[in-house]
Amino acid sequence: MTQHQSEFPVAGPELDADWWRGAVIYQIYPRSFQDDNGDGIGDLPGITRRLSYVASLGVDAIWLSPFFTSPMADMGYDVSDYCGVDPMFGTLAEFDALLEEAHRLGLKVIIDQVLSHSSDQHPWFKVSRSSRDNAKADWYVWADAQPDGTAPNNWLSVFGGPSWEWDGIRKQYYLHNFLASQPDLNFHNADVQDALLDTVRFWLDRGVDGFRLDTVNFYFHDADLRSNPPAQGANGGIGADAPDVNPYGMQQHLYSKTRPENLEFLERFRALLDEYEGRTSVGEV
């Protein structure tokens, strides 16, 4: 590895706000990239050890898939601590070391942010589901059953089946656009927005250069919980967002995602990034 290090300047990342324009970004999925402690799972020290090789490819930045604390029901996209490193990957100190080495090699670091939903093991959800009148009772999307006990509307999960799961503790349904163990956060609640932005600031303060926003158009839902209309087109829309075996594509998702309120939150997100020099973001839509 040392043969590559001498070939590249180590002046640190440039403070160019437009560094991302035309940048080549190398995605790293930590779990399978490099195992440094011999447990069969990739880890942050392994990534750090290989950064000189990544820099030798001429890329401008790395994008790290989620490394946060998680039960791993969805490969880390079910976060139970937005400010923690899952022990299978290492420690927060080892993330800081990775960031420092990347910057020494002139590489920017982009990390995933999974803000639309958390794990059902997140402390926020555990409190939210405990009653209808606790401090975080409306931090997630809860709704009463219809008179016949069925779900509040016809919304479907991207991963198959209804996007509503009955909870016997609150005796209400909660929304999940993906797995039932990934409850959707309620962005209509300003406290939720503030809490999530605080977690983003946590990583900005550590020096990350950008964020990849997972399922960015799923942040908001229709507050009136109106049912989606059928999709238009000869094939009913199947295949647009999900495999043909999943009827998800048979709906026009006017009310379950891609709501205009998304843009208002993203303005807040961008304003936060603008407090720091040269930070950027990209959204998955």
94 as an active site residue: the answer is no
214 as an active site residue: the answer is yes
Give the contacts of 172 (CB within 8 A, at least 6 positions apart): 132, 142, 143, 144, 145, 166
The CB density around residue 155, as the number of other CB atoms within 10 Å, is: 24
* Of 148, 275, 277, 284, catalytic: 275
Radius of gyration of the chain (CA): 21
- The dihedral of CA 201, 204, 209, 212: what is its sign? negative
Rounded distance between C-alpha atoms, residue 35 and residue 40, angstroms: 6
What is the DSSP secondary-structure string of 32-73? HH--SSSSSS--HHHHHHHHHHHHHTT-SEEEEPP-EE---T
* Of 214, 222, 277, 284, catalytic: 214
Q: Would you please indicate which residues are annotated as catalytic (active-site) residues?
A: 214, 275
